[in-house]
Structures are given as C-alpha cells and as structure tokens.
Amino acid sequence: MGEVEVPRVLVCDDDADIRTVVGLNLGLVGMDFGEAGSGEEALELLSTQEWHALVLDLIMPQGDGIEVLKQLRDRSSKDLAIVVLSARNSPQAALRALKLGAHAHVTKPFSPVALAQVLEELISMSHSEREARRLGSVERASRLERMGIPTI
C-alpha cells in the first residue's frame, strides 16, 4: 500500500503571528507547513523544496507578494496552488494578483479555518481546474470593475 502524501503549504507573511496561526490551523487539518517572513525568503524556499500551495501576503517590506507572483509566473510554477492575503480590501490589488496567477484572494482579517478549507479545495484540484477557477474569477471581477461595481 502506498503512502499518502501530506500536503505542504508555505506561509509567507511578514507578521510572525499570522504565520503561526495559519500554520497551526493547517496542522489541524493534516497539512505540513513552512514559514517565510519575506518574498525573498519564500522564493528561496520555493526553489529548493517541494510545496503544494503558497499562502502569500501581498504587502510586505522585503519582496512584496506582487513581485513574488511575477517571478513565479516566469518560473512556470504550475503545480503550486496560490492564495494571496491582503490587509487592504482593494479590489484592484486582488484582481492584479489573480491576473498574475493567484488562485484565490483572502482579505485580512480572515478565518484561519476558512483559509485551510480554501487550501484543501485548491490542492485537491488539478492544474487545469485551478486555472479555470482563476480565469473565471478574473473575468467576473474585470466585468464588474468595468461597470464600476467593487469586486472581490
């Protein structure tokens, strides 16, 4: 009988408390997690270890989330499910993150349990299913934005 692979999630946020709370909740649902305090550290860990998902803060002092998304897009990180966190409820920032490859956006403050559920769902999807979900979100948000309706 083969071993079941435990999903590994990298949590990248400059706030150590957020990393800890998210990590503890991921552990409760059977996921392994690692921590990065900056975008630079996240990119290093992503290039040297195997991860199933990334939780990425958009606004950080060293290597913000948008820059990380740009670099990941250039690396063609197809198997990585990406959820971005943002303290500001900015539809433009969320839409930009989705266009750059994020699969979901969560606004701080957030429920760590709900975040773990989103991650479980994204990790269970194939790459093409995640991309279809992401592109559908981008299309809906873009349409609403053109109509002047706040999104995401």
3-state SS string over the chain?
Answer: CCCCCCCEEEEECCCHHHHHHHHHHHHHCCCEEEEECCHHHHHHHHHHCCCCEEEEECCCCCCCHHHHHHHHHHHCCCCCEEEEEECCCCHHHHHHHHHCCCCEEEECCCCHHHHHHHHHHHHHCCHHHHHHHHHHHHHHHHHHHHCCCCCC
Domain ranges in the chain are 8-146
User: 62 pLDDT exceeds 70?
Assistant: yes
Q: pLDDT grade, residue 37 (50/70/90)? A: very high
The pTM assigned to this predicted structure is 0.86
The percentage of residues in the chain with a pLDDT greater than 70, rounded to a whole number, is 88
Tens digits of residue pLDDT in 100-132: 999 998 988 889 889 999 999 999 988 788 888
Pick the CATH number of 8-146 from 3.40.50.920, 3.40.50.720, 3.40.50.2300, 2.170.130.10: 3.40.50.2300
Q: pLDDT grade, residue 73 (50/70/90)? A: confident
